[in-house]
Amino acid sequence: MKKILIIGIGAGNPDYVTIQAVNALNQVDVFFILDKGAEKSKLIELRKDICRRYIQGDDYRFVDATSPEWDRKSGDYLASVDDLNRDKQVLFERLIGAEMQEGECGAFLVWGDPTLYDSTLRIIEAIAATGGHNLEYEVIPGISSVQALAARHKTSLTRIGQSVAITTGRQLAEGFPNNADGIVVMLDGDNTYRRYADQDDIEIHWGAYLGTPDEILVAGKLKDVVDDIERLRAEARSKNGWVMDTYLMRRGDGE
């Protein structure tokens, strides 16, 4: 039997790696690393640095593979993501079949937490369900950008007796949830927060590249800091070729 570990490695700071994750890293024979282009080479190097930092010995190997791309211009977002995940499943099955021996342990190192807006778990689950491989898998949680954002801003995600929703920029574009005191927004490529900048009572805690040396933090009344966030975000994307940010928005009249 082959075993796959889906290991959450935190939101960028190597200190975010949990003891459970460290123990899991030390079980692995082969790490599968997906290359998403030169612009995101820092993310690959961070994964490898984490392995070198926490694994005792050198009896492990890396297998690099080019990550499939998805059609970002497609008018059907869900269909394009489904196509991407199908392509990834084909790739993962090939890697597991060609690069692992029976009895070995392989791993995918997932940014943040594997259960939050990441497809790796669903793909491995689908592969195991096909029965094409004698495969078992395990999920190791990680510190997500949601947790890191709140900690870096020294704030709480929830207020007394209130709830918080975790959503995407696409969902936020449809309206601020009525049943949540606050919202954490991920995967927002369109600066959707700007749609709410005319409301006097909304505050925002925004962060990009959380936990990394490139980290940027901004907090305040949305109407006061919206231009700063948009400018910093644009500058960061121009400099790095990509930006990964998360933000918390809520009304300013809570406890």
**171-215 residue pLDDT tens:** 999 988 888 889 999 999 899 999 999 999 999 999 999 999 999
Distance of CA 221 to the CA centre of its chain: 26
pLDDT at 135: 94
pLDDT at 193: 97
The helix (run of H) or strand (run of E) holding residue 61 is strand 61-66
Mean pLDDT of 220-231: 97
Q: What band does 23 get if pLDDT is binned at 50, 70 and 90?
A: very high
For residue 254, the model assigns a pLDDT of: 54
CA dihedral sign, ordered 162, 8, 213, 191: negative
**Mean pLDDT, residues 104-121:** 96
Q: Give me the domains of the chain, ranges plus CATH numbers.
A: 2-140 (3.40.1010.10), 145-251 (3.30.950.10)
Q: Residue 42's pLDDT is what?
A: 81
Kindly state the helix (H) or strand (E) to which residue 47 belongs, with its residue range.
helix 41-54
253, pLDDT greater than 70: no
Structure confidence at residue 71 (pLDDT): 67
pLDDT of residue 77: 74
Q: Mean of the pLDDT values across residues 36-62?
A: 88
Q: What is the pLDDT of residue 32?
A: 97
The Cα 242–Cα 132 span in angstroms is: 36
Q: Residue 31 has what pLDDT?
A: 98
The model's pTM: 0.91
Alpha-carbon torsion angle 253, 187, 74, 110, nearest 10: -160
Q: Give the C-alpha separation, 184 to 204, whole Å.
A: 10
Mean pLDDT to the nearest integer, 28-46: 86
Per-residue pLDDT at 104 exceeds 70: yes
pLDDT given at position 255 = 53
pLDDT, position 74: 66
Q: What is the pLDDT of residue 191?
A: 95
- Would strands 202-208 and 182-186 be described as parallel, antiparallel, or unpaired? unpaired
Residue carrying the six token digits 């870096």: 152
What was the pLDDT predicted at 39? Answer: 67
d(CA 8, CA 82): 22
Residue 219 predicted with pLDDT over 70 = yes
Question: Mean pLDDT, the chain, as a whole number?
Answer: 92
More confident of the two residues 119 and 37:
119
Predicted confidence at residue 237, as pLDDT, reads 92
Please give the share of the chain, as a percent, with pLDDT higher than 90. 78
35 or 245: which leads in pLDDT = 245
Average pLDDT of the residues in 71-75: 66
Question: 228 vs 66, which has greater pLDDT?
Answer: 228
Burial track 1-34 (b if 16+ CB lie within 10 A, e otherwise): ebbbbbbbbbbbbeebbbeebbebbeebbbbbbb
| pLDDT of 121 | 96
